Chains A and B, each alone.
Chain A
Amino acid sequence: MAERLLEVKGLKVRFTTEDGIVRAVDGVSFELDRGSVFGIVGESGSGKSVTAMTILGLTRDKNTTFEGEVIYKGQNLLALPESHLRDVRGNEIAMIFQDPMTSLNPVYKVGDQIIEAITTHEDVSKSGAKRRAVELLRQVGIPNANTRVDDYPHQFSGGMRQRAMIAMALSCNPDILIADEPTTALDVTIQAQILELIDRLKDDFDSAVILITHDLGVVADVADEVVVMYAGRVVERAAKRDVFYDPQHPYTWGLLGSIPRLDRPKPEKLHSIKGMPPSLINLPKGCKFRPRCPHAFEKCEEEPGLDQRVEERGHLDRCWLSVEEKRRIRERTIVGEAVA
């Protein structure tokens, strides 16, 4: 069994705003093992980014309250003082962000920004750090790394910047790499390359990856295990295979149905989930997906727990429908009405 790196237990994150309390994350739990890729999927506002940023304490603020635990190496990161948490950030848990265009400081050389990450955590000379920066850039596939290291971010393309971000994140050999929508801002052709890169480097650096995305297609490429988040909570959790072949929650079906597929008959219309995600200030009673769910019935007024309802161990979901019923009706959402 692989080494357990991270354990998130009942994580709740609340933001106090002028309009009320935003329950951004409401009871999320998962575990991360070394060498694995863990996918968190959900639409905007489902709490996936907040979950990830909270692991690193980036959401800390006087208007934010936390509950639950984030256990890393036996210590609760949520309770760790900022000064100790800094030693974890970038060093043991690193993060890359959605938009590589704005995630690098435009006035410093790419190399210097990587060097900064290295020298923050390690006692190395500037020239030693620079040699490592060049090596990292080479590893992430930047051509002519020894000259490009002195380039500024605006001289890099979007894909190269994301590669540079990855190089920076890996510079201190972290245990965990959190990738928050790493491919969303990139061209489709570059997306695949970046994902492949993350997957390969995870093995090279012997770390684990938390991959956050709204795109199940991205998860399909690299993740081992997936949680689907909706309105700040996990609605389904399963091994990747089961999410795609035996999805249990109607929200997951909706996500699956909204991916255009070339290997299936062309649907008349690509599926879309009706309605809007709920306000995180005034959550609906019962199942949070109920107002948008075409299969909701009386029982849904009570919120279902995240329980195992299918034979497969570790496959959990939050839906009252019987497994047989689900398996019967889901194809219509996922595949859509085929063109006659």
Chain B
Amino acid sequence: MVAVLFSVSVLVYVVFILVPGGDPAERMAGKNPLPANIVNIRKKWGFDKPFYVQYVKMMQKAGNGLIGKTGEYDILTSFQTRQNVVHEIKRGIPVTMSLCIGAGIIWLFFGILVGFFSAVTAGRWSDRLITTFALIGVSMPVAWLAVMLRYFLAEKPTNPIFPDGEYVPLTADPVQWAYHLLLPWFCLSVLFIGFYGRVLRSNMLDAMNEEYVRTAKAKGLSGKSILLRHVLRNSLIPIVTLFGLDFAAVLGGGAILTETVFDLKGVGWYAAQSVGDLDLPPIMGVTLYGAFFIVVFSAVVDFLYAFLDPRIRPT
């Protein structure tokens, strides 16, 4: 895990150095700066040091921020806003968590439902209908969908069906919390529902042709228990892997588009802002935060996988 995080941070750093117009001193000095000013900033922020020194310092600062140190020069602060990066990310976490956990539950539930239903009715009109919707869902750009939803359902001047943007903390008012998040949840889930539905459908159709399903039938099991106990159970295993990684990705700030369009000031939104500003410390912070979730969830998926599939359990 340390190795992964280290490589990710180095990569981000290198990319940042290579990006044209990335010199933070010039950007911080503002428009039409005095050359002396730039030099000053370079010195003060340590941009004149060799890049590896800067890198080590940055990592130290990030670490300090995590263990709760304060003080302007001890912690990782944004070049642009001078704000504590760790602090900013922490502030975004409840929003992102609310968005992702809600959406995750929705897409997992509906993805399985849709996949199950279309596999069971494979070839009939209901399956075709679901397939069509799934394909639309998969191919619809999230940004476009989000903008459309927001425009038509939330931004109407008269009687909008949904509130426009704004995050209401769960602790403050659970009903408003859910109400405000409904559209973003839907938006984030649509693609995954379509995708999971398709994957599960084909998994289940494969499983139905397995010989153990024929065995189950020959045992005299009812159609329902064959489907649930033998077909669905075995088909869900790959879905778990997909879900673990997708969920980690959105949790780690991957819901950039949804968060940005709906003005949800979560980690993804923060990432979008920082990238726009070419602001290295927050980009670094958000990337490491995201990588952390990916690594953790990969491990979780591995454990879950072993739990679900006895064949890969160590004996």
- A107-B308, A152-B311 are contacts. A58–B220 as well, Cβ < 8 Å? no
Restricting to B217-236, which residues have a CB under 8 Å from any CB of A? 217-223, 225, 229-230, 233-234
Is B173 among interface residues, defined by CB-CB distance under 8 A? no
Q: Name the distance in Å between A324's Cβ and chain B's nearest Cβ.
A: 46
- Identify whether the interface residues of B are mostly helix, strand, loop, or mixed: helix
Q: Are B211 and A90 in contact (CB under 8 A)?
A: no
- A102-B210, A102-B211 are contacts. A107–B216 as well, Cβ < 8 Å? no
Q: Are B219 and A168 in contact (CB under 8 A)?
A: yes
**What is the interface size of chain A, counting residues whose CB is below 8 A from a CB of the partner?**
29
**What is the interface size of chain B, counting residues whose CB is below 8 A from a CB of the partner?**
24
Q: Are B219 and A106 in contact (CB under 8 A)?
A: no
Is B314 among interface residues, defined by CB-CB distance under 8 A? no
Q: Are B211 and A97 in contact (CB under 8 A)?
A: yes
Contacts of B72 in A (CB 8 A): none
Q: Are B218 and A56 in contact (CB under 8 A)?
A: yes
Is B315 among interface residues, defined by CB-CB distance under 8 A? yes
Q: Are A116 and B221 in contact (CB under 8 A)?
A: yes
Is A322 among interface residues, defined by CB-CB distance under 8 A? no
Q: Are B217 and A89 in contact (CB under 8 A)?
A: yes
Contacts of A58 in B (CB 8 A): 214, 217-218
Produce 1/0 per residue, A182-226, CB < 8 A to B: 000000000000000000000000000000000000000000000
Contacts of B230 in A (CB 8 A): 105
State which of B218, B221, B315 has its C-beta within 8 Å of the C-beta of A155: B315
Q: Are A105 and B311 in contact (CB under 8 A)?
A: no
Q: How far is the CA of A335 from the CA of B217 in the complex (A)?
A: 43
Is B215 among interface residues, defined by CB-CB distance under 8 A? yes
- A152-B310, A154-B311 are contacts. A105–B212 as well, Cβ < 8 Å? yes
Q: How many A-B residue pairs have CB under 8 A?
A: 73
Please name the residue on chain B nearest to A91 by beta carbon. B220
Please name the residue on chain A nearest to B237 by beta carbon. A107
Please name the residue on chain B nearest to A171 by beta carbon. B219
Q: Are B220 and A107 in contact (CB under 8 A)?
A: no
Is A316 among interface residues, defined by CB-CB distance under 8 A? no
| A residues apposed to B, CB below 8 Å | 56, 58, 82, 86-91, 94-95, 97, 99, 102-107, 109, 116-117, 120-121, 152, 154-155, 165, 168
Can you list 29 pairs linking A and B with CB atoms under 8 Å apart? A56-B218, A58-B217, A82-B223, A89-B219, A89-B220, A90-B219, A90-B221, A91-B220, A97-B211, A97-B215, A102-B210, A103-B211, A103-B212, A103-B215, A105-B215, A105-B230, A106-B212, A106-B310, A106-B311, A107-B233, A107-B308, A107-B309, A107-B310, A116-B219, A117-B220, A121-B220, A152-B311, A155-B315, A168-B215
